[in-house]
Chains A and B, each alone.
Chain A
Amino acid sequence: MNDRDREAELRYVAHQVRNALNGVAVNLEVARGRAQRGIDVAQIAPFMDTATQQLEAVARLYKRYTELVTELTTEGTGPEAPSTPADTL
Chain B
Amino acid sequence: MASSTRHRVLVADDEQAITQGLSAILTDEGYDVAICADGQKALDELQSGDYGVVLADMMMPKVDGLSLLKALQAKSIPTECIIITGQATIDSAVQAMREGAYDYIEKPLNADKLNRLKALIPKAIEKYAIGQKNRELASKLETLTHYGELTGHSEEMRAVYQIIDAVAPSSASVLILGESGTGKELVARAVHAKSDRAKGPFFALNCAALPKDILENELFGHEKGAFTGSINEKPGAFEMADGGTIFLDEVAEMPTDIQVKLLRAIESRSVRRLGGKKEIEVDIRIVAATNMDLQKALAEGELREDLYYRLAVVELFLPALRERVSDMRLLADEFLLRFSRQNGKQLSGFDDEAWSWIHAYHWPGNVRELKNAVERAVIMARGEVITAADIMPRHLRMAAAAKPAPAKKETATTPARAKAEPAAAAKPAVKKAAGKSKSKPAKSGKR
| A27:B111 contact, CB within 8 angstroms | no
B20 located at the interface, meaning its Cβ lies under 8 Å from any Cβ of chain A in the complex: yes
Cα separation A32 to B25 with both chains bound (whole Å): 10
Overall SS of chain A's interface: helix
| B22: nearest chain-A partner, CB-CB | A26
| A32:B111 contact, CB within 8 angstroms | yes
Of the stretches A2-10, A15-23, A59-67, A75-83, the one at the interface is A15-23
| A37: nearest chain-B partner, CB-CB | B28
Interface residues of B (CB under 8 A from A): 15, 17-18, 20-22, 24-25, 28, 59, 86, 107-111, 114
- Leading 6 A-B pairs by shortest Cβ distance: A23-B17, A26-B21, A30-B24, A27-B21, A25-B110, A19-B15
As a 0/1 sequence over residues 34 to 64 of chain A, the CB contacts with chain B under 8 angstroms (1 = contact) are 1001000000000100100110000000000
CB distance from A12 to the nearest CB of B (A): 12
Interface residues of A (CB under 8 A from B): 15, 18-27, 29-30, 32-34, 37, 47, 50, 53-54
| B86:A26 contact, CB within 8 angstroms | no
20 A-B pairs besides A15-B59, A22-B15 with CB distance below 8 A are A20-B17, A22-B18, A22-B108, A23-B15, A23-B21, A25-B108, A26-B22, A27-B21, A29-B25, A29-B109, A29-B110, A30-B21, A30-B25, A30-B28, A32-B111, A33-B25, A33-B28, A47-B21, A50-B20, A50-B21
- Chain B residues whose CB sits within 8 angstroms of the CB of A24 once the complex forms: 17
- Chain B residues whose CB sits within 8 angstroms of the CB of A22 once the complex forms: 15, 17-18, 107-109
CB distance from B15 to the nearest CB of A (A): 5
- Chain B residues whose CB sits within 8 angstroms of the CB of A21 once the complex forms: 108
Cα separation A25 to B20 with both chains bound (whole Å): 12
| B111:A29 contact, CB within 8 angstroms | yes
Cα separation A42 to B108 with both chains bound (whole Å): 27
Cα separation A33 to B25 with both chains bound (whole Å): 8
| B59: nearest chain-A partner, CB-CB | A15
- Chain B residues whose CB sits within 8 angstroms of the CB of A20 once the complex forms: 17
Cα separation A34 to B21 with both chains bound (whole Å): 12
Q: Given known contacts A18-B108, A34-B28, is B17 in contact with A29 (CB within 8 Å)? A: no
CB distance from B9 to the nearest CB of A (A): 15
CB distance from B399 to the nearest CB of A (A): 83
| B24:A47 contact, CB within 8 angstroms | yes
- Chain B residues whose CB sits within 8 angstroms of the CB of A50 once the complex forms: 17, 20-21
Partner of B17, one of A18, A32, A54: A54
| A39: nearest chain-B partner, CB-CB | B28
Q: Which of A19, A26, A30, A37 has the most CB of B within 10 A?
A: A26
CB distance from B175 to the nearest CB of A (A): 53
- Chain A residues whose CB sits within 8 angstroms of the CB of B86 once the complex forms: 15, 18
Partner of B107, one of A18, A32, A54: A18
Cα separation A80 to B110 with both chains bound (whole Å): 30
A-B contact pairs, 14 of them (CB 8 A): A18-B108, A19-B18, A22-B17, A22-B109, A23-B18, A24-B17, A25-B110, A25-B114, A26-B18, A26-B22, A30-B28, A33-B25, A34-B28, A50-B17
- Chain B residues whose CB sits within 8 angstroms of the CB of A18 once the complex forms: 86, 107-108
CB distance from A31 to the nearest CB of B (A): 9
- Chain B residues whose CB sits within 8 angstroms of the CB of A25 once the complex forms: 108-111, 114
| A26:B114 contact, CB within 8 angstroms | yes
Cα separation A26 to B18 with both chains bound (whole Å): 6
Cα separation A53 to B114 with both chains bound (whole Å): 21
| A53: nearest chain-B partner, CB-CB | B17
